[in-house]
Chain A
Amino acid sequence: MSGPLLEIEELSVSFPSDAGALPAVRSVGFAIAPGQTVALVGESGSGKSVTALAAMGLLPPSTRVSGSVRFEGRELLRLAPSELRKVRGGSIAMVFQEPMTSLNPVLRIGRQIEEVLALHRGFDAVRARAEAIELLGHVGIASPERRVDQYPHELSGGMKQRVMLAMAVAGRPKLLIADEPTTALDVTIQAQILKLLRTLCREQNMALLLITHDFGIVAHFAEQVNVMYGGKIVERAPVVPLFASPSHPYTRALLAAMPRAELGRARLEAIPGRVPALDQMPAGCPFAPRCKLAFDRCVEMPPLSRVLGDSTGQHVACWAVETETT
């Protein structure tokens, strides 16, 4: 099969407010091939999660979403609610940042997994329970036949995230969206969960959209990387050229801000300023106020995404890079 699994084009999201519509995501587009792992990287508030939620149709009804999100050629943004429900959990599953609060506190974890199995795979109660135990064991939970009857508060954070993963893969989705799946966990458990995530993706040939702000995770996992800033994708590249020659000043600044062993006790780079608030988005390039290379045109006009000449598949939206290379 050819063609991408998920294709997002010109996706814009804005939240209504008293001061007018606030644009959270602006003309974002990227694609994910079957089985591929794509990362969406950026600071808090850059629109990563909103992009994912918009694609799933999970934003509140007052939000204005435009553009196109196609999954296996079907337009998700204009799908009937009943059809969309089949896609959610069945074809696309999502894992959230906070395992502590993402499980229903009053239901046994087994019930919550069985619910997905009954809904998306039509299992009866007996089969669903057997499969739930099987799944819990598969995501690395010891003595699953006892854990299945426990309540979320009896599990640790790492275990809860494992349960969330079990629920997510229970519907055999083709795409898993993981929204900062390890941010709330200890470093040691982060590594375990990421490993599990990779194993699950490989076994089921599941594509993964990994939302994170951790370039370490990106380097290990992603094949394709989208760097987001101020609601826009500022740079898109395969993982190797991105790390070898980051082009956008924001990507460079982010990479420079990563602690590295070889730097020793040298002072860590920081990006001055912070992500602009939604109601104060600059007219030009969103990064211009914090960019070292910014000049007049950056402030006046938003740069368009251009392919870099050296056939590495890097796309960059930056006036400075454009004038540099031409």
Chain B
Amino acid sequence: MNDGSSDPEQLGERRTPFGEVWQVFRRDRLAMTGLVALAVLVVCALLGKLLTEWWVVIDPATVRLPDKLRPPLSGPSEVIGAERLPEFGFYLFGTDDLGRSVFARMLQGSFVSLTIGLVSVGISVGIGVLLGGIAGYYGERKFLFVRIDAWIMRFTDVALCFPTFFLILTVVALLPPSIFNIMIVIGVTSWMGTARFIRAEFLSLRERDFVLAARALGLPSWRLIFRHMVPNALSPVFVSATIDVARAVLTESALSFLGFGVQPPYATWGNILADGRAFLFDAPWLFLIPGSAILLIVLAFNLVGEGLREAMNPKLRRARA
């Protein structure tokens, strides 16, 4: 009994796979910056939801016509009554053409942008894992004389051929423009990358010894797929999903900008930007602020995605260490 199992003192520090990724990720300064920025954005989004809708302290819908197009950091004029005063006593981000506080509207919009990003990517990863998993695991079997793998992957290729944005525009034009429809439409049109990743991982995982060993122990297929194979295939998906969130945020902003997104009076970063374009020279903060916010969130998600890619890939990891 002496293959190193004898001495309990030698067990050393407990390290989970997650812990190892975190160790590398923590040392990546850019990625950490991205993560901190994301954390701030998430806090903003939650506060925004809380303070503008449930416990209304900051009302983004308050119209103050005398104070229209005030620049950032300017105070309210005397005619504004106490009940319509801005959040900190002055307009942090200025006001728009109806005198609404841009700060309040940005706060409300942050929740929309973030949830649309996360939920739509959740939907696309779900569809991608399911289709990619079936193609990778059951691919050899035939359906109507053609391999299941071929059916699913050719369908993926077809889906990839559509110009996604115009497809979304068409669907949104036909459906009532609600936040849920937009999440679903973005999710349903962006699963192809995930499906390809998962299929490729499954093709190699299927041949691995532990999958054979698990089959030899009599585990049913669904358990094999979802408990043993999917967790092993998830790391590239994780990386691409973070970057996809950024893309979904961008798509939503573009839709709102075009007027197909979330409808006013509900504020989103896209429609603040859209409203601001009429006052490009008179009130540049109206497009600079939401524009920078979109830039920031997209950049943050991309940095985190890049950091995860390096932390989860053992080869890149060794090069860094």
Contact = CB atoms under 8 A, between A and B. Distances in A.
Q: Do A and B bind each other?
A: yes
Contact of B11 (A86, A119, A143, A188): A143
Contacts of A89: 216-219
Contact of A104 (B14, B215, B220, B228): B228
Interface in B1-57: 1-8, 11, 14-17
B3 A192 contact: yes
B253 to A, nearest CB: 36
A96 B209 contact: yes
A315 B20 CA distance: 57
Contact of B217 (A88, A106, A147, A150): A88
A107 to B, nearest CB: 7
Contact size range, A: 35 or more
B213 A103 contact: yes
B214 interface: yes
B232 A105 contact: yes
Closest CB pairs A-B (n = 8): A158-B3, A89-B218, A88-B218, A89-B217, A94-B216, A101-B209, A143-B8, A102-B213
Given A85-B218, A88-B216, A106-B232, 11 more contacts: A56-B216, A89-B218, A93-B217, A96-B216, A105-B232, A106-B231, A140-B5, A142-B1, A146-B11, A147-B11, A158-B4
B212 A96 contact: yes
Contacts of B315: none
22 contacts: A56-B216, A62-B140, A84-B218, A88-B215, A88-B218, A89-B217, A89-B218, A102-B209, A102-B212, A103-B210, A105-B210, A115-B217, A142-B5, A142-B6, A146-B11, A149-B14, A150-B11, A156-B5, A158-B5, A159-B3, A159-B5, A192-B1
Contacts of A86: 218
B141 interface: yes
A171 interface: yes
Nearest to A153: B17
A98 interface: yes
B309 to A, nearest CB: 18
